[in-house]
Every structure is written in C-alpha cells, then in structure tokens.
Amino acid sequence: MSPPHMPLSADPAAFPVRPPADLSDPAVLAAHDQAAFDAVETMVDHWARPGWALGTRAYYWLLAFPGNPELAALAKQCQHALSPLGLDPVPDDGLHITLARIGSPAALSPARLNELISTTAPLLPPAFPLRAIPLAGSRGAVRLSVTPWAQLVALHAVLNDAMQAFGLPPRKATALFRPHLSLAYNNKPRPAAPVIKTVTGLRGCPPVELQVHEVQLVELRREERAYRWDVIKSLPLG
C-alpha cells in the first residue's frame, strides 16, 4: 500500500526552498534537487551551524546504512572526484539520512528515552526500498538525492507525531522535511560554481538501491569535521 500523500510547504529555511512536484518519481526528484543546487551562487561553512560546536551531543532519529558496499563505493567515487576542492568527506560508517532531532541528553533521561521508544515502535510503517541518485547539494554540502520521498516523509510524520504526543515539540515540521544523503560537507565560504561543475560531471554515475528495514535512535556528536554517533536503539519497521 502506498503511503498517504503528505503535503510539503515552501520555506526559505528549507533546501530546496520549494518541494518537488512529485514525491515518488525518481526523475522528478533528482531534477528538482539538481536544479536547486545549480542555482546556488555561494556556499557556506557547514560547521558554522549555531549550537553544533565540537563535542555537542543530541538525540536524533536517523537512517544508517552500515555494511552497504555499493553505497560506500559510490560515496568513495564521488568523494575522490571532489577531493581537489577540499571538502570534508563523510566516512563510510557515517553515511546517513537525518530524520528528526529529539533533544539533548541533559533534557532526556534514559527512562524517558525508553518511554519514547516504546511509544514510537508500534507506530512505525512497513519497510521500504530507496534509491540514492548522484548528485546534487545544498549551500553547505554535496549530497545524493534519495527517492522516493513519499515513504520518508510519511516516516518523518510518524516520528514527529510520536514526539509531539510525548511532549517533545518537533524541531522541524514534516512540511519542511527535505530528505537527502550527504557525501561531503563544505568547510568555508566559497563560490559554488567550481563545486557545481564537479558535481555535474558525476551525475552519470549509476544510482544505488537501498533497503530501509529499521530506524535508529542515536546519540549524535560532532568530532572535528565529522558526525559520529552511538546507537541507543534500532527499531524495526513494521
């Protein structure tokens, strides 16, 4: 059964600002991501994010893909081509799709976190396939497009609803969710044109098929110019 349509909204804080016309068509989604990145004029330092200094920790829901050699190989191929630009590559075991921020360890005790897990687990949708498509980006990163969005948006909505019911207001509304899988983070202000030129040359790389069988609740942290995490709990999809 297809997931219900979840409306997305345009917002200047989201990237791309406007949602795609179709949440399931791979060609539409890839073209939409690529066109948005191709219109970027200046890239920003990803690591200048407020609230994410070295050592910052927070609980997140995310999708990780450990032990996927096809995804790792595609990431390495793209990162090698990007290496002259001096971006910060995402390690093989750091490739992920961010879903939702839950809160800080200081605000959530282990017991309360376990209650959230118990509340969320029975609400999760069935497992679903994804495709990772080269290559687009944002103002602060180079990334793979992922498709379809429909199941990811529906999963995001379930997680947000569970957090809301648990008294944890979501940090980002589902209407502003833009799924992606980052390969390299930009680490200084720079003209976007040289990055876009390299990215455009990688769009002929074949996509990679992924399977989403579980969602991870993790304690995410920043270490130098990378994100690392400890898995608190992996919840199987229904």
DSSP of the chain: -PPPP------TTSSSSSPPS-SS-HHHHHHHHHHHHHT--EE--GGG-TT--TT-EEEEEEEE-TT-HHHHHHHHHHHHHHGGGT-EEPPGGG-EEEEEEEE-TTT--HHHHHHHHHHHGGG----EEEEEEEEEE-SSEEEEEEE-SHHHHHHHHHHHHHHHHTT---SS-GGG----EEEEE--S-EESHHHHHHHHTTTTSPPEEEEE-EEEEEEEEEETTEEEEEEEEEEE--
Q: How many domains does the chain have?
A: 1
Please write the tens of the pLDDT for every residue from 49-97. 877 777 789 999 999 998 899 999 999 999 999 999 999 999 999 999 9
**Considering the domain boundaries, does residue 188 fall inside one?**
yes
- Residue 218: domain span: 26-236
**Considering the domain boundaries, does residue 11 fall inside one?**
no
The answer to whether residue 117 scores a pLDDT higher than 60 is: yes
Provide the CATH number for the domain around residue 38.
3.90.1140.10
**Considering the domain boundaries, does residue 14 fall inside one?**
no
Question: Given this model, what pLDDT does residue 171 score?
Answer: 86
The answer to whether residue 126 scores a pLDDT higher than 70 is: yes
